[in-house]
Amino acid sequence: MFGILPFARIGLAIALLMLTPFGAAAQDAFKEFKQLESTPKMPKLNAFIAPGSTQEGVRLRDVSLEAKLTADGAPVEDGLTWYVFSPVAGTDGKLPLIASSKGGSAAFQLAAGDYFVNVSFGRAGVTKKLTVPDDGRVDKQVMVLDAGGLLLNAVSGSDVRIRPDQLSFSIYSAEVRDDGERGLVMADVPPNTVVRLNAGTYHIVSEYGNVNASIRADIQVEAGKLTEATIQHRAAQINFKLVSETGGEAIADTAWSILTAAGDSVGESVSAFPTMVLSEGEYTAVARNKDKIYQRDFTVAAGVNTDVEVLMKDQQAQQPIAPAATALPSGQTAAAPKGVPQPGGTIPPQQSLPSYDDLQNNSDGDSLD
């Protein structure tokens, strides 16, 4: 088994990286972890040949292919997928598939002519043009993937482990497109899973929980190496409960709203004992139970998982609803309602009701005021 070399920690407080180089036997490092896009090893000679892709009586030549992670590396022994295409598009506009194989190195029997050969290793891949001569030696075709592996994990704070079911990762290209977005390479990658990628820089988004604990990092994948990155989340898991006294039982049928210091709602739940993962900062927990509202301010510290109890005595004050006031010009006071005594004890005169004659005389639509 290949040993892991010492690694250096990046001092950015967002990712800890470890690079494991791949020597002749170093591909075992990939097998220590779960893998995405992995395939079982297939027989090398019994490759699939598409029906009708060869004509009767046509001489077939043996073509051997192998792939390497780097130009000076050892051939990849497992996890490869090979496709051979005709260079002439079919009626559907696509290149016809001639043959395919899965496993390590591949061997095909092909008629003389030109082909496109594609080999993929997880999300890494390369395509080259292949010319099979009518006569003479057919050299072994070696394709360099220029690929490595990426294994992602995360902790809360400096070293608090996070349950795998609370974590997910998305991998994006480092380049930003004209529309301001990044190209998605792979979404919802579980932690502790090897993703095979072409060498280069990738933009990683790590989600802890489903509220607001998210962090981003740019990570370099090197050809022929397994890059292990541990993201450091500045967040914690908080349990909420409404109680009648400190340490009491959680009261059922409680609706919760969690607000930031700016008053923005980041999470809601209807449960006696809800759990949320929140990024570090200041928050207010608002609990509603039987038409009463209770609240408490609290602080989230990175990596400090804790309970937040809201006491029923912490009832939010209900402010009386005042009638809307109308702004008046300077020096002018508001007139009292009709029939209300004015200062001095007199009742202001009120306009008399119109008579029938008044209504008839104003039938042309003039106002009676």
54 and 203 fall within a common domain? no
Q: Is residue 346 part of a domain?
A: no
**Spatial separation of the C-alpha atoms in residues 124 and 79, rounded to whole Å:** 11
Give the contacts of 113 (CB within 8 A, at least 6 positions apart).
131, 132
Measured CA angle at 30 (ends 25, 33), to 5 deg: 140
**Spatial separation of the C-alpha atoms in residues 275 and 254, rounded to whole Å:** 13
Q: What is the DSSP letter of 271?
A: S
Supply the pTM of this predicted model: 0.70
**Spatial separation of the C-alpha atoms in residues 12 and 35, rounded to whole Å:** 28
301 and 162 fall within a common domain? no
**Spatial separation of the C-alpha atoms in residues 58 and 75, rounded to whole Å:** 31
26 and 151 fall within a common domain? yes
Q: Which domain holds residue 89?
A: 48-144
279 and 264 fall within a common domain? yes
DSSP string, 69-81: SSTTSPBP-SSEE
Q: What is the DSSP letter of 123?
A: T
Extract the tokens encoding 224. 């022929």
162 and 23 fall within a common domain? yes
List the CATH number of the domain containing 191. Answer: 2.60.40
Q: Into how many domains does the chain fold? A: 3
61 and 201 fall within a common domain? no
**Spatial separation of the C-alpha atoms in residues 268 and 286, rounded to whole Å:** 10
pLDDT in tens, the chain (369 residues): 333 222 323 333 445 555 666 544 445 545 544 555 443 333 333 344 554 455 566 789 999 999 999 999 999 999 999 999 999 998 899 999 999 999 999 999 999 999 999 999 999 999 999 999 998 889 999 999 999 999 999 999 989 999 999 999 999 999 999 898 999 999 999 999 999 999 999 999 999 999 999 999 999 999 999 999 999 999 999 999 999 999 999 999 999 999 999 999 999 999 899 999 999 999 999 999 988 999 999 999 999 999 999 999 866 644 444 444 444 555 555 555 544 445 555 555 555 555 545 545 554 544 444
List the CATH number of the domain containing 278. Answer: 2.60.40.10
Domain final residue, candidates 108, 128, 144: 144
